[in-house]
Amino acid sequence: MIQRLFWGIMYGLAIFWICNAQNWSPYLLFIPLLLVCVEFIKMEKLKVWEKIFGIIYVSYASYSTWSISYYSNTDNLSILFIIFGLIWISDSMAFFGGKLFGKNPLARSISPNKTIEGAVIGFICTLLIGCFSLNMIDPISEFKSINSWQRISWALPLTISISAPLGDLIGSKFKRMAGVKDSDTFLPGHGGALDRFDSFLLSVILVQVFQSYILIS
């Protein structure tokens, strides 16, 4: 438990540094995303087309990360930090909500420990905390217009509150098909890159679509 907590803190600090350093720093996220691709290849029980789908999935998430960073107007990529923060809220609230009130399995065959009650609590808390927090801070320059910031202050938490748990389930489904509990063991107490970035993969894809086709339009 102590080891898991320690490496969880280290992981969070690393993400904070990546999202608040220089413009090139988001490309460091390609390292764990590349590791996810390697993990898909190493999953021997996956069929060839399943591995190809997984690699395409991660590749598009990598493109989405690049796209968000490329079109950013700031040195510190606040939007990526917000994504990780909202994912953390979603995962944490769903976990504690499930522990306290969970009775009905959300997807027993994929992830038996996740509950409907936990998912609902995670959704509500992410939406409320996200909307409140984003409305309390000044608009970041990626979204200079007031209208854009008003839209992102509710639409981004809504997107993450849905995509984070779905991305987690997608990652769990891949591991189920591969017959493994953790995708790898390179993060002590936390498994592999897929275990840590499963929620991020789907979230960053949907946020990139949101940024490109909704805010820009």
**For the chain, how many structural domains are there in total?**
1
Radius of gyration of the chain (CA): 17
Q: Which long-range contacts (CB under 8 A, 24 or more apart) does 48-55 make?
A: 50/174, 50/177, 54/174
Q: Which residues of the chain, if any, have pLDDT below 50?
A: 1-7, 10, 21-22, 24, 74-76, 141, 183-190
pLDDT for 147: 55
pTM, 2 dp = 0.74
Q: Which amino acid is at 43?
A: M
Orientation of helix 146-178 relative to helix 48-70, angle to 10°? 160
Q: Which tokens sit at 155?
A: 């639409």
How far apart (Å, rounded) are the C-alpha atoms in residues 35 and 124?
32
pLDDT for 163: 92
pLDDT for 119: 92
How far apart (Å, rounded) are the C-alpha atoms in residues 131 and 128?
5
Q: Which tokens sit at 139?
A: 């608009």
Model pLDDT for residues 156-177, shown as the tens digit of each residue: 899 999 999 999 898 888 888 7
pLDDT for 109: 81
pLDDT for 184: 47
The pairing of beta strand 111-115 with beta strand 105-107: antiparallel
Place of tokens 């389930």: 169
103: left (phi over 0), alpha (psi -120 to 50) or beta: alpha
pLDDT for 23: 52
191: left (phi over 0), alpha (psi -120 to 50) or beta: left
Its domain, for residue 97, covers: 2-215
pLDDT for 143: 53
Model pLDDT for residues 185-203, shown as the tens digit of each residue: 444 444 556 767 788 889 9
Q: Which amino acid is at 196?
A: R
C-beta separation of 180 from 40 below 8 A: no
How far apart (Å, rounded) are the C-alpha atoms in residues 193 and 8?
13
Of 14, 17, 33, the C-alpha closest to 200 is 33
